[in-house]
Each structure stands twice: as structure tokens, then as C-alpha cells.
Amino acid sequence: MRWLMRLFRRSKLEAQLDSELRFHIDERTAELIAGGAKPAQARRQAMIEFGGVERAKEECREVRGWSFLETLTREIRYALRSLRRSPGFTAIAILTLALGIGGCTVIFSALYGVLYNTFPFPHADRVTSFAIQDLSHPGSGREDLSMREFLYYRAHNDVFEDISGEYGGFGSTPVRWTTGNSNYQFDADYLSVNSFKLFGENAVVGRLPTDADVKPGATPVFVIGYKLWKAQFNGDPKIVGRYFTLNGVPRVLVGVMPPRFRWAWVDVWIPFTVNPAEALTDPALKNQGLYTVGRLKPGVSMKAAAANLDVVAHQYAKIEPRLYPKQFDVTADTLANRVTGGFHRLIYPLFYASLILLLIACSNVANLLLSRATTREKEIAIRASLGATQGRLVRQFLLESLMLGVAGCLGGCLLAWLGIRDIVPLIPYNAFPQEAVIQLNPPVLAFALGIALVVALIFGLVPAIQGGKGRFQSRLMALGRGADAGGLRHGWLRGLLVVVEVALSITLLIGAGLLLRTTFGLEHVNFGYDPAHLLVFQVSSPQSSPQTLRQALAFEPKVLRAIEAVPGVVVATVADSAPPYGGFSSEIEVPGVTHASRWSSLLDMCSPGYFAAFQMHLLQGRLLSETDIDGARRVAVINEAFARKYLGGVNPLGYQIQFRIFDQLPGAPNARYPKNTEFQIIGVVSNVRNYGLRQPPAPEAYLPYPVWPFPEGTILLRSAVNPTSLLPSIQRTVWAIDSDLAVTNPATVESMLNRDVFSSPRFEFTFAGVFAAIGLLLVMTGIFSVMAYTVSLRFHEIGIRLALGAQGGNIFGMVLKKGLALVGVGIAVGLLASYGLTRYLANQLWGVKPTDPATFLSVVILIVLAGVLACYIPARRAARVDPVIALRQE
């Protein structure tokens, strides 16, 4: 800042200095004239007595200490001029840097936005998620609390300022807004009224719901999200205070939440009471399972929180033992950590890949600068002999690098801006919370500038050290032949940079190759059924939500039969899972079969059409029948994996299975059934993928759905035609049964697979592939520029060889050999490095070992080809040298 002030003061000081000295000379002149001298002579005399005016001025300036700034501006101007003199070099260097810095910046923006700025809440690091972890099955845990449990935890813990409970979020609760003759549907979430204060965000318009809003008899209220407010209501502040009929209930809209408030990823939040007397008597609330998070009191550590909650949990386990495993503890972590673990694994390999790309770009620019430094030896030598100190020369080199770095940073930010715009939509759905925003904000820009400066220092230092070496005299003397002497001197350093580039690029290519094989492998997994032509949707009845069990049972068979009658539909079934994932997981017992370890199975609530829809073959026994469904009979069809794993060697038919989940889940209708309900195995079907695509099929049991029906019936159908084309007729069919029923969340299984299963590996492969491709391109230009430069330095020597009878082919081979030797060393180093590094990619890989020989080999072939291609033009130019011209250049 002080420099800047001085810049403005500079002209004033300069003027003062000028008038001070002029005053002196004028006074002396006047005195001499008074003494009898002629004016012209007097002036001359005064000037002589004074001595050099300019020198005095210069000395005064130096005393002032502003000469440094002036020198710097001069040097910057010189650096810019010198970069402008070679526009080709400058453009390539800046573009290379921009690619490297841009890549890093895009990835960093995602990393920062999602992992370090996940939630907008003040002190978001105190928003804590906790789970009751079954010690016999560590790593997972229950995060939902029953209403009674929630109230107990709220009253008895010592570590939270407050806890928040939520149910029905993440798109599972459509609410219908009726206005006049139109209906709109939004996703809603029921949120405990104290949550709003807990999260600490204020409404942008209106107010937050309060305790008074949820008292019995109070006017029902709700708040909406910013996005919905803008999209549906044009951001009109006057809609606050209006009545909306939601699911038939008139509610007052009291506030609009800020843009980044996206709790449970919905647009509408409906508060509910946390007053125990009211909550435990409300039929809609008392049996709810609540997803719970807490806000830690200031200064409470995670460890202390977990310890305190562990005590509370063990107290409550005595009150409601069926909810707790035999041995358990409580784990706690920040909500951000809990929800971004997957993204963490997704983004870090890419971040490292982008850094590798940056290093390649950096060594490429270092190489360019090095070649440039050699050709500039003449200029440097002349400057040195004219009195430039070594420090000043080094500073000059660093300044030029810095200019390149800053320009590269600007270019990189531009690329990053474009990149973020185009890439954020590609990030897998669900990969990060909707609260997180990925953008080019100040921390990200600071990161870009930071890496640009570091990189500029690295690549600038190499030629600076080389160029600053104090052997100017010999260089000046060797000027005529200086160039090729320099070529020999710096040859090894340039070679080293090529080796490094090739090695780095190999690690990138191998990483991308492994991810490609993973993606390809996953896309060609045998599901056990054809994933095309499957459609999933829900049939819900918003007006009468929450539905009673009886209603759900009443409309589903009717709906199924009607849908099956739609032309084009092959078969329709109830299903509670989204392929390729099975239903709930439960611990099981098979009476009569003893086992040491813990047994578990997936279980799916379905109707008879399920087996046909998933094209399963019956291996033994029989399938579920209509009678099984109508009577909600305790029977189960198991898959082959179940039979093999738990009942290998015996005939499974006739054995009974107990599912522990029926004894544990709040909300399960187990109250109506005796505990330890046993389901008789009636059949065995072939396996389908039910545990994601990366895992082999897991044991699964298929039960009649009325055993545990869900209020929102999920229906899956297999069609003979494009399933989405059937949607209108399905909707009409459903309306014909009951005009109040709505078909919601329709999706083809293929689209779900694309969204949930393939998107992550595709995203990762796309990015790694782009980085690897840019890396390879940079390496090729690197090899090309080094070889072209080497050839130009050896022009004379090649001329002599040709004159002495060497064939063009020999020369071609010589250049190619030299280039490929560098590539060869790089390959060796790169393979070793990759061998060590790819294991860190292991958890993103599937169906391919981190050291897959085929991938390694393909990459080697690719890079050799790239090397040959890059050497080809310089080698051919060398072979076509005209000896007469080459020799005459002496």
C-alpha cells in the first residue's frame, strides 16, 4: 500500500526536488550577476559550481528509497516486453498453465464447496449426527429415533444445545397444493419446530415457525424454500401470510427460507410440536421415526458428545429394549462428515490427478523457459557485461515466470469458470448435499492464485539458476558457437523434465484406464434380468395422508390388476426396493440350524408379479400366490444365494425364517403380530443383483407385501414397449379407480441406474480421462519441443554427418532413438510410480486389479506411439537437412 501511495506522491516529490535545485542555481546565478558577471556566463558558472544536476537528483531519489519501486516497474516493463517479443512461446506457456491451473481449480472448487463449506448454518461444524451402532455389526447404525426416544434424548443429554427431528423428507412426501381448479405438487418435510432456531438461519421474507404455531388449535403454518419461491411465486414477498390448501388442509405460509436452506432436500417444511404431552398423543406423530441431528454446545468435543449420548442411549434401552441391539454404542460425527464421505472418496483421487496434470504443465513450461534461456544467452551475456548483477538477472527471470504465472492464473480461472458451469451438473446425483454450492468464490480464487505463484516459482527457478550462473565471460567469448555449447550443458535438465512428464502422464493414463475398465465392467454386469423396460412409480393418495393400513391394502390389488390390463404392460408388482438394490436388511434366525456368526438377509415386500418382472427362474418349490397375498400368509420365497449360504446341503423347503427387523423397527406393524414371527420357505428362485452392481447377489427373501405394507405403494412394471410412453395411460387407469390417487415419482430402472449406479464411475472416468488426455497432449508437445530444439542445436553437426556420407535414414533413426530413450526412462519411472500409487484408487475400482497388466501394457503402447509421433517431425526435419546450407551457417 505504501508503494502505491508513493507512486501518487512521486510526481509531487519530483517537482519539489526540481524546484529546490533550480532555486539554488538561480540564487547563485543572481549573486554572480550582482557581482558583475554577464547573465549567460553567470549561469554557466553556477552550473559548474553545482556539479551534475541529474546526478544530484538521482542520489536524492536513492536516499528517498523509492528507486526500488521504479526499478521494479522498469523490470516488469522489461519482462512484459521480452514476453511480447516471442508471442508463440508466451501463448503456449500461458495456455499450458491455464489448463493445469484451471483443472486444479475446478476440482478444488468442488472439494472446498462440498467438503469444507457443506452447510450454510452458522458454526455448521457443531451440527452433529449420531447413530446407535450395533457392536456385532460395526460401521453402520440407526440414525432414526422414535418420537418417544427423541423426546427422551432431548431432555436427558448434556451436550446439545438442542436436537432436531425430521420425517418424510428427500422426496418421499409429496404435498398437493390445490388452488382453484389447479393442483401443484411439491416435496415436503415435517420438521420439529425447534429445528429452525437450531439451524440458526433466518427467513429471508416473513418469519420462522414458532412454538405457538404448533399448539393444538393454532392455525397450521408452513415455510417454503427460496428456489420454489422464485420459481413458483416470482419472488413475490406478498405471498407470505396467505393461506394455501395443502393436502386439503389450509395452512398459512409464514416465511421463505434462505437459498441454501435445503434441509431434507425439499421445498416445503411443515413444523410439528416437540411438546411431549402433545407429540405423544397426536396419532400422526407418536409412531414417527425421526431422523435426528443435534447442535453441540460450544466447546463440547465429538468424543464427549458420543460418550454422553452413549449413557443416554443405555438408559433409554431399558425403557424400550426392542429398539436396541444387545451390544451397542453411540457414534457421533459432524453432519458434514457423515454426509460427504462418498464425495470425499470420489473427489480426492481427481484432486490428486489434477495436481499431477499441473505438474506436467509446470515441467512443460520449465522446459520451454529452459530452451528460451539457452537461446537468450547472448542477451544475458551482454546485459551481464554491461553491469547487471547476478541477483538482478535472476530477478528478471523470476519476474518473467511470475508474469506467466499470473496470466496462466487468469486463464485458469476463466477455464475453471467455464468448467464449473458445465461440470457441476455432471456430478452424480446424491453425491453431495444440496446445501453445498460449488462456485468460484474468494477461497477458490485464492487457491488458484496460490498454486499459480508456487508453480511460477518452481518453473521460474530452474532457468533462473541456469541463467544466473556467473560464466558470462566464457559465454560472451563463445558467442559465435554459443548456442550448441549451451545445448550440451542444459541437455540433461531438459531430458530430465521430459522423463518426469512422461512418468507423471503414465500415472494419469493408468488411473484413467483403470477407471474406464471399471465403468465398462459395471455397465456390462449381468443383472440376472433385463434392466430395460422396467418402470417404477408410486401411487399415493395425498388427500387422506397419512393412510391407514386398511386403505393401503384395499387399493393396491385393484390398482395392480388395472395396470396389468393396460396394453403394453407385461406384468406389474408391488416392490419396496429400487434395483439393483434389494429391500431392507435384517438379522435372521433359522430355527433348527445353528450358526456361529451373525446371519442377515435382505427382505422385499412383493406381490406374485415380482418374479416375472425380474425374470427370475423358479428352482425349487413354488412362487408366492394370490392366496398368500390375500391372507398375508407367513411364507417366504428365498433366492439361490440364501439357500447356498445358509442352507447349503439341505432341502430349504419347509424351514422357517425369523426376521429380527419386525421386532425392532418403529412403525412396523409388529404390534399386530406375535414376536419372533416365523416365515415358512416355500420356494427358491434364481439370483438377481440385489446388493448393487459391485457386489455378488446377497441372500434375499421375498415376502407377501400385506405383511408390512407401506402407505405409499411403490409399483414396478415390466413393459413390452418404451415404458415411459405408458405413463399417460397408467395415470388414466389409476384415476379411473379413484380420482384422488396420483402417480408420483415415475422413473425407469435404466434412468435410476444411470443416476445412482453408473454416474459416479462415469463422472470419475470422464474427469480422469480428460486430465489424462490433456496430460498426454502436453507431454507430446513437451517431447516435440525438446526434440525440435535439440535438432536445431545440432543442425551443424547433422550437416557434417550428411556431408561425410550419413544417410537421411540414419539421422532420422538417431533423433528418434534419442527421443524414445527419454520416453523409455519415463515409462520405467512412471510404471514404478503407478504400481505404488494405483492402490489408492482401489476403492473406486471394480472388477479390475489396481495393477491390471492389460491396462499397464495398453498405456505403455499408447505413450510409445505418442512419443514416436512427437519425435517424427523433428526427426524428419533432421533427415532432410541440406548439408550445404547447414555447413554454410558456420
Partner 1 sequence: MADDKAAILKGTLDMLILKIVALGPIHGYAISQRIQQISNRHFQLQQGSLYPALHRLENRGWLAAHWRATGTGREAKFYKLTAKGRRRLEAEVESWERTAEAVALILRTAE
Interacting residues toward partner 1 by CB under 8 A: 16, 19-21, 23-24, 26-28, 49-53, 55-56, 59-60, 62-65
Residue 60 vs 770, nearer CB to partner 1: 60
Residue 65 vs 180, nearer CB to partner 1: 65
With contact defined as beta carbons under 8 Å apart, do 176 and 249 qualify?
no
**C-beta of 121: minimal distance to partner 1 in Å?**
53
**C-beta of 7: minimal distance to partner 1 in Å?**
18
Cell of 443: 477461497
**C-beta of 1: minimal distance to partner 1 in Å?**
20
**C-beta of 18: minimal distance to partner 1 in Å?**
11
With contact defined as beta carbons under 8 Å apart, do 292 and 150 qualify?
yes
**C-beta of 71: minimal distance to partner 1 in Å?**
18
**C-beta of 45: minimal distance to partner 1 in Å?**
12
With contact defined as beta carbons under 8 Å apart, do 329 and 135 qualify?
yes
**C-beta of 41: minimal distance to partner 1 in Å?**
17
**C-beta of 36: minimal distance to partner 1 in Å?**
18
**C-beta of 37: minimal distance to partner 1 in Å?**
17
Residue 53 vs 777, nearer CB to partner 1: 53
DSSP state of 607: -
Long-range contacts of 774-777 (CB under 8 A, 24+ apart): 774/99, 774/103, 774/357, 775/356, 775/357, 775/360, 775/504, 775/505, 775/508, 775/509, 776/505, 776/508, 776/509, 776/862, 776/863, 776/866
Residue 50 vs 116, nearer CB to partner 1: 50
Cell of 861: 503402447
C-alpha closest to that of 837 among 111, 349, 343: 349
Residue 60 vs 76, nearer CB to partner 1: 60
**C-beta of 63: minimal distance to partner 1 in Å?**
4
Task: Give 378's Cβ-side CA count (13 Å radius).
Answer: 7
Q: Give dist(CA 616, CA 527) in Å, integer.
A: 11
Cross-strand pairs, 330: 132
The DSSP element (H or E) to which 604 belongs, if any, is strand 600-606
Residue 34 vs 277, nearer CB to partner 1: 34
DSSP state of 583: S
* Cα angle 276, 277, 283; round to 5: 90
Burial class (CB in 10 A: 0-12, 13-18, 19+), 175: buried
DSSP state of 139: T
Q: What distances in angstroms separate CA 834 from CA 89, 765, 828, 838, 854, one per listed residue?
A: 32, 17, 10, 6, 14
Burial class (CB in 10 A: 0-12, 13-18, 19+), 681: buried
Q: What is the CA radius of gyration of the chain?
A: 38
Residue 5 vs 804, nearer CB to partner 1: 5
C-alpha closest to that of 275 among 403, 103, 155, 434: 155
Residue 63 vs 804, nearer CB to partner 1: 63
Q: Which residues contact 463 (CB under 8 A, 6 or more apart)?
A: 366, 369, 370, 372, 373, 397, 401
For every residue of 330-341, DSSP letters joined together read EEEEEHHHHHHH
Residue 42 vs 360, nearer CB to partner 1: 42
**C-beta of 47: minimal distance to partner 1 in Å?**
10
Residue 28 vs 634, nearer CB to partner 1: 28
Burial class (CB in 10 A: 0-12, 13-18, 19+), 147: buried
Residue 24 vs 137, nearer CB to partner 1: 24
Q: Give dist(CA 160, CA 138) in Å, integer.
A: 25
Q: How many residues does the chain have?
A: 890
**C-beta of 60: minimal distance to partner 1 in Å?**
5
> Could you give the maximum distance between any two Cα atoms of the chain, in Å?
138
**C-beta of 5: minimal distance to partner 1 in Å?**
16
**C-beta of 11: minimal distance to partner 1 in Å?**
16
Cell of 755: 443416476
Residue 67 vs 245, nearer CB to partner 1: 67
H-helix segments, 35-52: 39-50
Residue 48 vs 804, nearer CB to partner 1: 48
Cross-strand pairs, 761: none
Residue 20 vs 422, nearer CB to partner 1: 20
Cell of 606: 412383493
